[in-house]
Amino acid sequence: MIDFTTVAREFRGLVDRRREVFTFLGTSFAALGLFLQNALQGGLPPSLNAVSTHVFAFYAGVLSLLSLILSLRMAKMHGGIIINGMLFAHLMANQTFGKPGNVERASRHNFLGVSFLQFILVNLIAWFSVTILCLSLHMHRVTALSIGGGIFFLWVLWYFRFHRKAVEYAYHRIETDEVEPVLHEEWEDHISLCLQQSTAALLSEVAFAGLMVFSVFEALSGLNQIKEQADLSASDVKEFGPIAFAGLMAVTCFFQLRIYIRTYVAIGGFCLQLDENDKPFRPFRLTDSFLGYLTLSALWAVAIHILAILLLPWLESNVWLHLGIDAAAFVFALGMHQASLIRHAIKMHK
């Protein structure tokens, strides 16, 4: 029996757990960055000299283990979201209220969906940490990058396998199970709860980006304290470490910009379902959600600023050009947001 209350509750529960897993990884990354800085500065007690000697292996080992497990968990939760999304679409297929359900559309994979973007970001952190782990075990750089990349693509294959299995299971349920009637009150409560959930998710996206950015600052401030007895060459760490961490920071901020926009669009969809006269996609309006996006855009500009300093050192003598790059990054982020609002506003009036 396909019951609306059960399907709706399970869907919201999976979205909540996915957000909590994402936040847990950001917190873990920040805590490990603080540990790495303290260890490089000689802050560990003598009884942990073995950890100090292999500090990068310890740091990368813990981070890679967490990120690999959590990325698989997010892939599995994506499968659950697909199942319940398809069942929800089946329940709403013949209703006179709400958005008409389309099972085939619900079964498609969305490469710009929140689930996939979050999974890819966690998987990229896994690639980053596995590469550092391999380097700390004295593997060649190309070999380390290849092993990290190989695991990344293997995890992507697992993700699509979970998606395919979820679609098959959902179609089987649709073909064999009976459907209970959907009450308008149940549907309205579900949409209202999804609206609240998505609004809270916007704050989580900003918080995750903040954790990643400021933990990278923490790590960057400690890399210069590395001692020669560490498990990575001090010269390599000072030369390539800042670029690797700054690159991860910039990639994280970009993904968070895209995830924030996708979540904002979902909020607009829920608002329209509850009130068809609402206008959630009005551009150039200073709303609370837009101010949250401005915070993310500022973090993105800061990440690009640091990365530009590292990749283009000659910019140091041209302050105005450097500020121009920062401004261009900020305007680019704003352009993505406003273009999305305009596109959906046009789509809504068709």
Alpha-carbon distance of 318 to 192, in angstroms, equals 51
Alpha-carbon distance of 256 to 201, in angstroms, equals 11
Given CA atoms 223, 228, 234, 235 in this order, what sign does their dihedral have?
positive
**Per-residue pLDDT tens listing for the chain (350 residues):** 889 999 999 999 999 999 999 999 999 999 998 888 888 877 778 777 777 788 889 999 999 999 999 999 999 999 999 999 999 999 998 788 878 888 999 999 999 899 999 999 999 999 999 999 999 988 999 999 999 999 999 999 999 999 999 999 999 999 998 888 888 899 999 999 999 999 999 999 999 999 999 888 888 887 777 766 567 777 778 888 899 999 999 999 999 999 999 999 999 999 988 888 888 888 888 888 999 999 999 999 999 999 998 888 777 777 788 889 999 999 999 999 999 999 888 877 65
* 301 φ/ψ sector (left φ>0, alpha ψ -120 to 50, else beta): alpha
For the residues of 233-248, what is the DSSP string, one character each? -HHHHHHHHHHHHHHH
How many domains does one find in the chain? 1
The closest of 273, 271, 269, 261 to 338, measured between CA atoms, is: 261
What is the CA angle 110-115-118, rounded to 5?
120
Alpha-carbon distance of 242 to 240, in angstroms, equals 6
Alpha-carbon distance of 133 to 127, in angstroms, equals 10
Alpha-carbon distance of 91 to 85, in angstroms, equals 10
The residue type found at 9 is R
Residue 12: predicted pLDDT: 94
Only one residue has tokens 């500022």, namely 298
For the residues of 144-155, what is the DSSP string, one character each? HHHHHHHHHHHH
Q: Structural domain of residue 247, as residue ranges?
A: 4-348
The closest of 156, 181, 189, 345 to 269, measured between CA atoms, is: 345
Residue 63: predicted pLDDT: 95
Alpha-carbon distance of 56 to 131, in angstroms, equals 11
The closest of 170, 174, 162 to 79, measured between CA atoms, is: 162
Residue 230: predicted pLDDT: 67
First CA to last CA distance, the chain: 37
